[in-house]
Amino acid sequence: MSNEIKTAKAAGGIAAIKATVKTISAEMGFIRGVRTLLKINQQGGVDCPGCAWPEPDRERSRFEFCENGAKHVADEATTKRVTPEFFKQWSVADLAQQSDQWLGAQGRITHPMLLHRGATHYEPVSWDDAFELIAGELNSLNYPDQAIFYTSGRTSNEAAFLYQLFVRQFGTNNLPDCSNMCHESSGSALNETIGVGKGTVTLEDFDKAQAIFVIGQNPGTNHPRMLSALERAKRNGCRLVHINPLPEVGMIRFKHPQHLLGLLGGGTELADLFLQVRINGDVALLKGITKAVLALEEQRPGKVLDRDFIASYTVGFDEFATALKAVSWTDIVEQSGVTQEKLEQAAQIFVEAERTIFCWAMGLTQHHNAVSNIQEIVNLMLLRGQVGKVGAGLCPVRGHSNVQGDRTVGIWERPTAAFLDKLGEEFGFEPPRNHGFDTVKAIHAMHDGQGKVFFALGGNFLSATPDTDFTAAALRRCRLTAHVSTKLNRSHLITGERALILPCLGRTEVDEQGTGPQFVTTENSMGVVQISRGSLEPASPELLSEPQIVARLARATLERRTTVDWEGLARNYDKIRDAIERVIPGFDDYNARVRRDGGFYLPNAARERVFKTASGKAHFTIHALPEHNLAPDQFLMMTIRSHDQFNTSVYSANDRYRGISDGRRVVFLNPDDIAATGLHARQVVDLVSHFEGEERMARAFVVVPYDIPRRCAATYFPEANVLVPVRSVAAKSNTPASKSVVISIRAATEELEQNDFPIPKEETS
């Protein structure tokens, strides 16, 4: 890691172009890379496997991708291969010593591989034998709830629908997914208050908004093309408010890589106002803005609040306003870390705008009080009728390309009775009715010995989940762990008694089935369903598509217990879409409408001011200020992602925007805290988390002085996941509280090489 921390001055620009060219040239070859990138996010092309930011409905530019999208594509479409010879050469134990970055950089897995009981190396296995082995394990369980079926947000609508059908015919609702760890809190908060678990805006609303608040989100790294929408909004006179513990360069200045001025000039200044909130000070901050809005209404009665909207569409306003009066400015300022004056400035921007959008991401969703965070946004927005209005609305920004679609088509451990009724009716069976395990419950079930078979359709479960040692122990207690994957990751190395790697096609590849080439569909953050069609030759002739894998697994497992035409569905994905149309409302004429340019919008009642809540109205809600009670030597820590990573995929040890190079085991601290605790910059320390009397330790992190509020700390995910207690979760959503971890900092007990991933300890019990 370099000595000096020099943060970037702007996001995008020539540096982004250079990084894109370098990555695609190294991984894919320049010409092949450019050809592929020109198909990304185009009508009928490949839906970027990165985040879920939408594309314009109509006209699109030739370059509808960002630096990070290019890296995800290059990562998948690399020419490097992980073959059976590779696995012969490398034992599982040796692979486990390598970093996440190294594992991902080895290339695409070419063959199904099996780790026999007690073996040191994976060996090739035929697809038939692999399915027979999984079916044997599943069918020998005492009851179906002993199996756990995880889904990552890459999975297409078609594969996800088939998968949940198989799982429910097998007899369980144990369908945890990555949504349980990210926007579950948004879903819980919005369902309760506005009757729909999704955002209410479209991309076009950004062009019409007069104010956009971005809170707990770092779009420059996690949703980079959102910066183009913000830049356009700025040019239209919109004002931007950035609320975050770290000033993120992407919200400060953006140099659009496709515009001459963006390349040669100084770029566009984005945030008009930056509120540097303390970690988990969001409830206090939002109460402060709301209190200031109510004070403005008192000064100008009838001119600030949308009284008609409140009267016609909401319940609970009077109680809410009374409760807010009792919250003192002293508590608000102390807990948020932001002055009353600045909060009043934000309120002024809010009331001066006729149309306001509020965007958020995991900075809000991964706290104990995550649902309260989001419902405080809803409270504020309801005051001025900013839901169900053109140019305004709520916008939880999803981090993985089809995480929203997977939930829509049935990946949920708590399905509604209406959904199960329709599914059972369509396929002639009685689906299980009891709720299944979400991600955290699944980890506990495996740890307790109740979960015995773990199957993952994509993802890197061990690295994505909290409490790494605990989760590793849970996986090791399984009889079988099986992963559908494109590339090697840590979850292949911390295994059950037996383990399988089932290699699948990537989004960028041609998916040829019995009835010809197929496409799949995905749903973006704004509820648009669209086509994704690959064009590259598959990385290996041995690869199967995800729908094929699910169909063959279902056939092998269910045998005569199913009347579903699995082979027919997997030969022709139109038939899967026809079945989705019959089971799930909103997919009318699916096959025809999705073939139109831009796809189609799923219905969203709240967008029409129809609030499908218990009362039929939108709800104001009352929340207490969270309590932190840090001891004098403790910090509140959050995990963050670097600019050179996508979820658990780490592309390099650099974080260009934050000025970090060659190191990921770093802890960002306020310089005054470093001085006050007797530490010094670049000192190597151990981090210890504290939860209900338990301690967890992450060794050898380098202290980095950074612009972060006092008593706050930030570390990279997944390196610091080991510190996140599995029982420390958000109320109602059960999302791991990865952004509210209480830690103390001790002088290092041992030096680790940078990039070392401490191997989860073997169980002693």
Separation of alpha carbons 204 and 389, rounded Å = 12
Work out which of 20, 42, 68, 491 binds ligand SF4, going by CB under 6 A: 68
* CB-neighbour burial class of residue 714 (10 A; exposed 0-12, middle 13-18, buried 19+): buried
**Angstrom distance (rounded) from CA 378 to CA 683:** 43
Q: Interface with ligand SF4 includes 223 (CB under 6 A)? A: yes
Helices (H), 239-336: 249-252, 260-264, 282-299, 307-313, 317-325, 329-336
Contact 755, 718 (CB under 8 A): no
Measured from the CB atom, the residue of 216 and 224 that comes closer to ligand SF4 is 224
Among 108, 111, 225, 234, binds ligand SF4 (CB under 6 A): 225
Handedness of CA 45, 50, 52, 54 (dihedral sign): negative
Tell me which stretch binds ligand SF4 (CB under 6 A): 66-74, 575-583, 608-616, 738-746: 66-74
Instruction: Quote the CA–CA distance of 76 and 544 in Å, as a whole number.
Output: 15
- Residue 66 within binding range of ligand SF4, rule CB under 6 A: yes
CB nearer to ligand SF4: give 371 or 397. 397
Binding test (CB under 6 A) with ligand SF4, winner from 224, 316, 393, 459: 224
Residue 593: other Cβ atoms inside 10 A? 15
- Rounded Cα gap, residues 154 and 736, in angstroms: 21
Strands (E), 24-158: 81-82, 108-109, 113-115, 123-124, 147-151
- Least Å distance between CB 154 and ligand SF4? 12
A 10 A CB-CB count for 514 gives 11
Q: Which of 37, 42, 53, 443 lies at the binding interface for ligand SF4 (CB under 6 A)?
A: 53
CA distances from 429 to 143, 202, 415, 573, 617 (A): 18, 38, 16, 22, 36
Interface region with ligand SF4, contact rule CB under 6 A, candidates 21-29, 64-72, 476-484, 694-702: 64-72
Radius of gyration of the chain from its Cα atoms, rounded to whole angstroms: 25
Determine the size of the site formed for ligand SF4 (CB under 6 A).
11
Q: Measured from the CB atom, is 287 or 656 closer to ligand SF4?
A: 656
How many CB atoms sit inside 10 A of residue 537's CB?
9
- 394 forms part of the interface with ligand SF4 (CB under 6 A): no
Q: Which is nearer to ligand SF4, 73 or 723 (CB)?
A: 73
Binding characters for ligand SF4, 32-51, by CB under 6 A (x = yes): ----------------x-xx
**From 8, 20, 37, 65, residue interacting with ligand SF4 (rule: CB under 6 A):** 65
CB of 518 to ligand SF4, least distance (A): 22
Q: Which is nearer to ligand SF4, 137 or 644 (CB)?
A: 644
Looking at residues 438 to 467 of the shown chain, list those that interact with ligand SF4 (rule: CB under 6 A).
none
Instruction: Decide: is 251 part of the binding site for ligand SF4 (CB under 6 A).
Output: no
What is the three-class DSSP state of 214?
Answer: strand
Give the interface segment with ligand SF4, choosing from 221-229, 255-263, 666-674, 703-711 (CB under 6 A): 221-229
Residue type at 538 in one-letter notation = P
Output the smallest distance, CB 659 to ligand SF4, in A: 22
Q: Which of 154, 190, 148, 197 is nearest to 170 (CA)?
A: 148
Closest distance between ligand SF4 and the C-beta of residue 412, in Å? Answer: 23
Judged by beta carbon, residue 65 or residue 87, the one nearer ligand SF4 is: 65
Q: Nearer to ligand SF4 by C-beta: 24 or 66?
A: 66
| Residue 30 and residue 203 in contact, taking contact as beta carbons nearer than 8 Å | no
Name the minimum Å distance from CB 530 to ligand SF4: 12
Query: What minimum distance in Å lies between the beta carbon of 578 and ligand SF4?
Result: 28
Q: In degrees rounded to 5, what are phi and psi of residue 650?
A: -105, 120
**Which CB, 401 or 621, lies closer to ligand SF4?**
401
> What is the four-CA torsion angle of 501, 502, 508, 512, rounded to 10 degrees?
160
| Beta carbon of residue 51, minimum distance to ligand SF4 (angstroms, whole number) | 3
The verdict on 206 binding ligand SF4 (CB under 6 A) reads no
Q: Are strands 239-243 and 211-215 parallel, antiparallel or unpaired?
A: parallel
Question: Site mask, ligand SF4, residues 69-98, x = CB under 6 A?
Answer: x-----------------------------
Report the interface residues with ligand SF4, using CB under 6 A: 48, 50-51, 53, 65-66, 68-69, 223-225
